[in-house]
Structure formats: structure tokens, C-alpha cells
Structure 1
Amino acid sequence: MFDWLTSLLFPVENPSIGQSLITIMLAIGTGVFLGRLKFGKITFGISAVMFTGLFLGHLGYRIEESILDFIRDFGLILFVYGIGIQVGPSFFSSFKSEGLKFNILAVSTVFLSGIITFILYLTTGLSIENMVGIMSGSVTNTPGLGAAKNTIAELKDSFPGRTFDDPAIGYAITYPLGVFGIIGSIILVKVLLKIETVKEMRLFRMSKINCENPLIPRKMRVTNEAYLGKSIEDLQKEFGEGIIVSRIKRSGQKEVVAPMLETKLSLRDVLMLEGKEEDLSNFIQKVGRLSSDSFIESDSEIVDKKIYVTNPKAVHKKLSQLDLYNTYDLKITRVFRAGREILPRPSLELYYGDVLKVIGKEDAINEAGKIIGNQEKKLVEPDFLSLFGGLFLGIVLGSIPIAIPSLPVPLKLGFAAGPLIVALLISRYGGIKFIHSYINNGAIHFMKDLGIALFFAAVGVHAGDGFYDNFIAFNGWTFLLYGSAITLIPLFTMVIVGRFFLKINFLQLAGIMSGAYTDPAALSFSTNYLDSDIPIQSYAQIYPLVTIARIVTASMLVLLFA
């Protein structure tokens, strides 16, 4: 009576579409559940799907081949595209500060892993496909494995008579080693170097006092007679555009207005300023003194509001082109983009999803909102035209053959690097025509987690097919030995160079260690273990370039030596 249910839920050698989908759901569902369990301070998160997939594959569960290829590649595409959109803005801006140093250190670690892999390939007799699988698992890099498998598929098409080993076997054997190796290294380094988390936190904050300070408001009263009669434009020329005068109240009056560039200062005027603390302190010290005047904040006609950029006609327009001050008597004090605060300079180009903080009369703000869009609900709804347009461009870019002399087949960026690069560029430049960079945080997290879960389920179930036999046949203990060299040698080299030569704060270094190995489980552990979110910042700064470096390294090793 329940034969249909038995055949649906229990493993079969040649599964139907329904049986394949059940296997995928079992792998993801049980993996997500196990990933939430805590082992001390360690949680595996979504990476536990890999282990449940391996176990199900070992028990005999299978996924129909065409479905397996689709969900593996589509999951990888969703994951890397979501990463690119999420970290793109901070990735590019970080190069103005510590990002360049961090990325050089992390990418050098990637290439050192590749060199060690190549040396082991020459000395052990293992195929390069197996060595690349071992490398990808040892550094917990999923896109690298995806790139290697795509490259092998290209080689199979060009050389149909050749057989190639499956890198997923080495990946599956060494992946747990990679996870625990990075976590163990963070613990060991902290103990050996006698790191005090509180002290590192204090040193980090001191180093950031004059760097990347947030924008803050200040009230001041004009008392220096040398500045009387000078206009706001004169002040900007002297102090720079980093100081925004959002409101002004004349001495002895209660009326508060948004000043024009030609507005001139009088004795005892009260100004509301916006800018960085250091810039404001310097300005106030020279022009006057701090004020406790409350009227400048309580004027009933002048209000602060946010306007959301959702009208396509306003996207990619410069603030000077919108000219909100002369048109609506509004003053823009800040622009919020992807979690960052930006000074509203006239040359600033608006992106879809930007949030403008404006000051002025409520009726004028409402009128300006009609021009800019101000439809917050639009930002909650998923824009599938933009999303799939970006994915389309990423797949096209990843499929472009790049002919390189001496390589057996043209090099392709593949489904990992192509969408990642497109997402980074879209997030950097705000989009292309109808394809924009804004995706709300909830949608990005959903896309990333769904994508990596699909990929882990497909790879895990496939690698689990004969996993024990493969472990015995390939002598899995030697795979683990080679993997430990690929995991630990570059990791400790990074720590020595980063800590003793580059003088990097350990909280940031922990994030670089996790990011260089693209390991979210290690990142989650380090934030809990060190009781700090600082590792997340350095992780995000290096993740995109490291991912591209891992993809290129894995692809080139296969192309050159397979």
C-alpha cells in the first residue's frame, strides 16, 4: 500500500526526479539542523550540508545526473553573485585604507597554497585533479572546486578519449580538516602569542580614531569676528566640502532655515553642522564655540526625513543635477549606501536604493520624494529583472573563451568567477541600465545560503557515492596528510608575516585567516571566541579577491597539468 512512499524516501540506484528532489531536501534539511548545533563555541552552519550529503551518498542516495549538474552550478552562481553584491562597496573602498595590505597578504597565501599543491603533485604521483580537490577541501574553498570541475568538463569535451579523476573525492575527504585546521590555528596562535582580546580591541579602536569616523551632528555659535560676513561657500573653500551646514538660526530669532551657499554669517548665529568629528572640531575651534541652543532642533517647520532613491529617472543623476536646494529649498546632509555614510557632494552620483537624509519643510520633502521615488516598499520587493539580468551577464562573462598559447583549451572564468566579477562591478558602479546593485539584506542572505546549500548537497551526495571505498582506494589518510600541509604551512606563514612584519591587529588577522580560506565556519567561531565583530570587517575586505585567486589557481593547475 505504501510502496510509493518507500520508493520515494529510501535510496535507489537510478532515481527519478521526485526521488532526486527528496534527496536534496533531506541533505539540506538535516544539514541545516545539524549546522545549528553548538560544539563548545563551534557551529558548522550551512557547511554541515556537505557532511549530511556525504552520509546520504554513502547510504546509497543518489541524484539524477542532469539535476545534480544543474543544482550544483546554479547554487554556485547564486552564492558567488550574492557575495559580490554584498561586499562589493566595502571591497573597493577598503583599498583606500588597509585593504591593499590585507589583500596582498591573503592572495600571497592563496598562491603559496597553489605552489605547495604543485610540489605535492610532482612528488606524490597523485593526479592533478585529485591534488586540486585536496587543495580546495583543505582551504574550504567551494568556488575553486566548482571552477576545477568546470575546467575538467571542458577538457572532456575537447578530449573525449581521456579519463579524469573527480576532484570532489579529495575535496570531501579534506574539507573537515580545513575547517578544524583553521579553527585550531586561531586558538593555537592566540595561546602561543599570549593575545589579550581586550588589549587588542583597545589598540584597534585607537588606530581607528582618525580613520573612517562616522558622520556626526554638532551645534555651534559663531563668535569669531574674522568670519563675520563670510558666506557658506567661503567656508567650504577654506575648510573643504567635508563640513555640511544643514541649518542656521540668526541670533535673537527663533526661525530656522536651510542656508544657501551665498548665506553670510553674522555674530552669534547658531549653525547645525554635519561631518566627521575631527573636521567639526577644527571648524568649531576656529569659527566659534559649541552651542546648547535647542531652538535650532525644535523648529516645527524644518524637519529631518529620509528619501529613498527608487525612481529610475533619478538613478545615476548627480546631486548637482537634481538641485534640490534651489528647486525645493532642501538641504541633503547625508547619503546612506550599502551600510556606509557618504558626504553629499554635488558630484555624487545616486544609485538605486540610496537613502538621502534631507532637511527642510515637510511639503517640500514630499514633493522632492515624488521626483526621487521614495517608494520604500519597492526596496522590499525582489527585482527579478535586475537579479537575473546580472546573473545572465555573469554567466556570459564566465563563458567567454580566452585563448592562451600552450594551454590545451581556452581559459574560461567559469560559473564562479564570472558572476562574482559582474556582481562586484555592478555594486561598484550602481548598475547597468535596468540592472542595479540594490538587493535588500534579507534577500542577499537567502540567495547566498540557498545557493551554497544546493551546491553542498549536490557535491556531498555525489562524493558520498562510494566514499568509504574511495577513502580506502585512494588511501584517504595520505590525502589528509597532504591536505594538512596545504592548510597549515600557508596559514602559519601568513600569521608570521602579518603579525610580526605587517603589525596587523590579531582581531583583524583572525578575519584574514578565515577569509583567505573562505571559511564562514571559522569566521563564526572567531567572532564568538574573540567576542568581537572586527574579524568580519577584514574577512569582507579580502573575500572577493581571494575567491577569484582561488578560482584562477585551481583552473590553471588543471589546465596546465591535467
Structure 2
Amino acid sequence: MEWVGQLQSAQPITHAVLILSAVIASGLALGSAKVRGIGLGIAGILFAGIGFGHLGFTILPEALEFARDFGLVVFVYAVGMQVGPSFFASLRQNGLTLNLLTLAVVVMGAAVTVGLARLFGIDMAAAVGLFSGATTNTPSLGAAQEALRSMPGMDPARVSLPPMGYAIGYPFGIVGIILSMLLFRALFRADPVAEAKEFEQAARGQVKSPVRMNVRVENENLEGLKLEALPGLREWGVIISRIKRAGEAEVRRAHPSDVVHVGDTLLAVGARGDLEQFRLVTGAESAEDLVELPGPVQRQRVVLTSKNVVGKTLAQLALDRRHSVTVSRLTRAGLELVARPDLRLQFGDMLQIVGQRDDIDRAAKELGNSLKELNHTDFIPVFLGIALGVMVGAFPLSFGNMPAPVRLGIAGGPLLVSIILSRIGKIGPLVWHMPVNANAALRDFGICLFLAAVGLKSGQRFFELLFGAEGWLWVVCAAAITLLPLLVVGLAARLILKRNFTEVTGLLAGSMTDPPALAFACAMSNSDGPTVAYATVYPLTVFLRILAAQGIVLFFAGG
């Protein structure tokens, strides 16, 4: 292997790529190995990196830091893009409870840190490093060091203690969070896959999914009214897509200007409760199913891929008037929605269109309906979004007499920006949508780079610190800082608040700002469900952990 050493000095960047690739490949192989159905998963890369680092495989420090930070940025940006469309709905429904649980995790972790440091006589400068590492939160480490430097008369040797504590605490922080998930899985006898399906079904239940109902007009007060004038259509969001005249056998597409007569049968689409209201006003449910009856009317699902249409509402698009077709329902991110006129369209929306074949074809052409475009990744918005996220993360926020400004960092900034951009959908010619396959690839690529770099860096001194004079004491303290808050809050969330296991794992990973734990939770449940809770609590967690680290330094590290 002498040539590897020669490569390091002659071509350091090539050497860095070689070592990082070897760490990732061996780590993924290690993570795929399972004992009684349990494996390390993506966290195997971290342990492979520690092993490589311990064996002396080092790379250019600048390349190592770039791989770590760039991997983290790419990962959190992809996570934000994935959860953005559902983030704000989750925040409204569960945000307060989840963030209060997160606050409890942070406060308990800080209290355990201070208590153990005083009990065992650990320097508080080292303890705050353990706090940052055991909670896998790099921004709080930087904030703690900055706070130490700002204190008058501070010994420079003490300023170097937080990174040492961080190096010990970080690997055990990642392992501790994963162990807590496995412990809860066994304790609650939870089936992660089944719980994830329940979680997704509950999320769908919070959205008024459309169904169809055939309604026969019996209310004589409606005789002679135009279809668009029927009571309740706008208020209840009911769509009339087909009509069958009394005494006729053929079904045709319903038009807003059609005059309604008693005995006509209407095919109405909307939420179940809204359709019941409409039926009570209009007449009675008919045994006839207009979808099955003969006529020139067809239906087709069309995917929105035209950038010229993204961002418009269905009312602005006016497909009914311009192409003589009706949009009866819409599918977005796996959820079916009622096609209300005020619904703003996003790239990748799947519209169910009702009309005659030629009319549907014209509407489909305007909407795009291109699988090639749907699966194409435009990297201009991706890197613009990442750049904007890094800028937001680097922006200093000053509060009161704090010794150093608070920053969201390279993890919090891109996450916040990607959530907002994915919610907006389009700005001018830029469409922020990212195809599912591209998102998954970027997410996995980022976390692999991040874990490989962290493992390599930790491995260089990991065993030296571990087997040092205070190594085992630091390890025990780091484990306690990680596990105690998670166990208490996890038990409360599951047993008292009756939270779904999928949501609990996302909460635990988010409260520790731990991307590997999130990846593990998603792999365990075979679902992206944990990312919703993770993204809900992540921004506040970053802020609270920075404040907590600085508070430990300011109030307990003096002297």
C-alpha cells in the first residue's frame, strides 16, 4: 500500500476521493450486515471512517472539511425539499406539541451536562464539548468556543477542550440515538413499517380526499338554473364533471352553462361530507354510475410539467372555458385533493381531466404531460437554493448581551430555505421542484459524504481519547447526555401523548439535529414519514442548542 502514501503527497485530491470512496463503500457493506434483523444501516459509514482514521488513513484537512460540510448541506437541502409541501400543515397541526417536546430534550440535556460535570469534576469547557458531540450538534460547538474566547482571562488551553469532548461524544451521540430507537421499538413492540403506514394514512385523513357521488336532481327549486348557479358548489368545493339528462341514455361532460332540470343525474366530485351537503340540497343519490354509462366522455390523468402553468390557479387556467374539459381531482405528493378553483398548481401535480378525446389532448399539451420533463432535474435552482441557504445560515443574529451572534449554520440555513422554496414552488422562470429519484440520490450522497468525513476525523484521536485517563468517564457522561433526555421524552411522547412511532423517531432525530439517525429511522420504517417531524422541530432545535451551549459557558465555565 506504499503507493497510497505516495498518492497522498503527489495528488492529495485524488487521494482524498479514493479514501472517501473506500470508507463509504465499506461502511455501506458494514451497515447492510444484520444480526437478528438489526443492522447499523447508514451509520456503518461512521464506524468505517473511525476505523480508517485509526489505521492512519488521513486526507488533506481542507478536503476533509469540504466533504463534511458539503455533504451536510446537500443532505439537509434535499430533506427540506422533500418535506416542504407538508411542513406547514404539520406545523399547524402538531408543531407546538413537537417543539415543546424538543425544548424538554434540550433543557434536560443541558441540565444533565452541568450536573455530571460538577459531580465528576469535569472541566465545564470539556463538558460543553461533550454536550455538543453527544447531541450531534456542530453549530453549538462553534458557539461554545466563541463564547469561551470572548471571556476575559480565559486560558487558551481550555478553549481547545470543547473539540476534544465533541470528538468523544459525537460517535456515541449517533449510536445513542439509534440505540434509543431500537430500544423503543422493542419496548413498544412496534412494527415500524406498519406504524409508518398508519402515520401516512392519518396524514391523508387530515386532507379532504375527493370521492364521487351520482346525484339525481329532485329539488324543484333548482329547475331551470344553470349548473354554475347550483347552491353549495363554491362553498363546498364540489365539482360537477358529467351530466345525464332525464330520459336520455348518453352521458356527456357537464358545462357550467348547462341548464339543470328535475330528473337529471349529476356526477359530483368532492369531499365526502361536502357531497352529503350537496345531495341534501339537490336531491338523492342515484344508483346509476355515470362513469360506467356510454357516451363520448373520457377521463385521463395528466401530469403538470409546463413551467408556464406552474403557480397559476385552476380558475386562472380556465381549462373549462378554453378547452371544454373539467378537472375533477388532483394528486400531489401522494395525496388526492379536490380540484377547487383557487387551488394553486405545482410542478408534478397529477390532474384528472374529464372531456372528449380531442379536448383532453389539447389540455394535456398545454399542461406538459411529459414524463421526461417530470424526471429531469434542473440543477440551476438546486445550487441557487443551496447558495441562498448557506448565506442565510451564515447570517449573524444578535440577541441582548450574548457574547457571540447566533447563526443557523450550514445545516439550519439550507434546511429552512429549502422548506420555504419547495412550498413556494416557482419564482419567475425557476421551478424549485426536485424529482423524487433525484432527491433521494442527493440525500443519500450527502449523508454518505458527511459520515465518511466525520468518521475519518474522529478516528484520528478517537481511541487515544477513549483510552486516556478520563476517556471512559467522558464516554459514560456522553451516553447519559444522549440517552436520558431521549428516553424520558420518548416515553412521554408514546405513552402519555400517544404519538405514532414514526413521528417519535423523527422527533428524536430532529431534537438531536442528527441526519444519520433520520436516515436510520427512514430505513427502519421503509418510509419518509420521520422527516416530517424532523423538519418540524429542526430549526428551533438548532437555535436552542446554540443558546444552551453558550449558556453553559457563560454561567458555569467561568473562573
Name the TM tier (shorter chain): 0.7 to 0.9
How far apart in 1 are the matches of 2:133 and 2:376? Answer: 37
Percent pairwise identity:
31
2:31 corresponds to 1:4:
no
Amino acid at match of 1:520: L
2:544 corresponds to 1:553:
yes
Alignment of 1:183-332 (within 5 A): 183-188=182-187, 190=188, 211-225=206-220, 227-235=222-230, 237=232, 240-284=235-279, 287-294=282-289, 296-297=291-292, 299=294, 301-332=296-327
1:245-271 deviation digits (Å, cap 9, x = unpaired): 121121232443332334343233222
Aligned to 2:52: 56
Aligned residue for 1:91, secondary structure, equals helix
Aligned to 1:365: 360
Alignment of 1:371-390 (within 5 A): 371-390=366-385
Amino acid at match of 2:169: G
State the Cα distance separating 1:242 from its structure 2 match.
3.0
Give yes or no for contact 2:103–2:544 (8 Å, CA) kept in 1.
no
1:353-374 deviation digits (Å, cap 9, x = unpaired): 3332221223223323343333
Aligned residue for 1:463, secondary structure, equals helix
Aligned residue for 1:473, secondary structure, equals coil
In structure 2, the CA distance between the partners of 1:227 and 1:490, relative to structure 1 (3 Å rule), is farther
Amino acid at match of 1:23: I
Aligned to 1:77: 73
After alignment, is 409-418 or 425-434 more displaced? 425-434
Alignment of 1:301-450 (within 5 A): 301-450=296-445
State the Cα distance separating 1:70 from its structure 2 match.
0.7
State the Cα distance separating 1:42 from its structure 2 match.
2.0
2:168 corresponds to 1:169:
yes
1:304-355 deviation digits (Å, cap 9, x = unpaired): 2233333332222222221111111111122333333332222222223333
1:90-112 deviation digits (Å, cap 9, x = unpaired): 12112343444334334433443
Give yes or no for contact 1:15–1:63 (8 Å, CA) kept in 2.
no
Aligned residue for 1:272, secondary structure, equals strand
Amino acid at match of 1:457: A
Aligned to 2:531: 540
Aligned residue for 1:448, secondary structure, equals helix
Aligned to 2:41: 45
Unaligned 5+ segments in structure 2 are none
Amino acid at match of 2:345: L
Aligned to 1:182: 181
Give yes or no for contact 1:182–1:487 (8 Å, CA) kept in 2.
no
Amino acid at match of 1:540: T
1:47-99 deviation digits (Å, cap 9, x = unpaired): 21111001110111102111011111100100110111111111211234344
Amino acid at match of 1:363: D
In structure 2, the CA distance between the partners of 1:341 and 1:84, relative to structure 1 (3 Å rule), is same
How far apart in 2 are the matches of 1:104 and 1:62? Answer: 42
Aligned residue for 2:35, secondary structure, equals coil
How far apart in 2 are the matches of 1:312 and 1:197? Answer: 38
How far apart in 2 are the matches of 1:65 and 1:254? Answer: 78
How far apart in 2 are the matches of 1:152 and 1:16? Answer: 32
Aligned to 1:523: 521
In structure 2, the CA distance between the partners of 1:551 and 1:508, relative to structure 1 (3 Å rule), is closer
Give yes or no for contact 2:279–2:285 (8 Å, CA) kept in 1.
yes
Aligned residue for 2:169, secondary structure, equals helix
How far apart in 2 are the matches of 1:48 and 1:464? Answer: 14
Aligned to 1:16: 12
How far apart in 2 are the matches of 1:101 and 1:507? Answer: 15
Aligned residue for 2:212, secondary structure, equals strand
Aligned length: 543
Amino acid at match of 1:280: L
State the Cα distance separating 1:203 from its structure 2 match.
9.9
Amino acid at match of 1:90: S
State the Cα distance separating 1:208 from its structure 2 match.
8.3
Give yes or no for contact 1:426–1:437 (8 Å, CA) kept in 2.
yes
Amino acid at match of 1:113: G
How far apart in 1 are the matches of 2:82 and 2:200? Answer: 25
RMSD between aligned alpha carbons? 3.7
Aligned to 1:475: 470
1:207-257 deviation digits (Å, cap 9, x = unpaired): 889743532233333345455445444445378333221211212324433
After alignment, is 549-558 or 512-521 more displaced? 512-521
How far apart in 1 are the matches of 2:117 and 2:308? Answer: 56
User: TM-score, normalising length from structure 2?
Assistant: 0.85
Aligned residue for 1:403, secondary structure, equals coil
After alignment, is 418-427 or 481-490 more displaced? 481-490
In structure 2, the CA distance between the partners of 1:249 and 1:175, relative to structure 1 (3 Å rule), is same
In structure 2, the CA distance between the partners of 1:209 and 1:546, relative to structure 1 (3 Å rule), is closer
State the Cα distance separating 1:5 from its structure 2 match.
5.8
How far apart in 1 are the matches of 2:487 and 2:134? Answer: 14
1:360-411 deviation digits (Å, cap 9, x = unpaired): 2232233233433333311211101111111111011112122334333332
1:132-170 deviation digits (Å, cap 9, x = unpaired): 55345544x4xx22x245547877999999443322332
Give yes or no for contact 1:247–1:259 (8 Å, CA) kept in 2.
yes
How far apart in 1 are the matches of 2:191 and 2:392? Answer: 46
Unaligned 5+ segments in structure 1 are none
Amino acid at match of 1:168: A
State the Cα distance separating 1:199 from its structure 2 match.
12
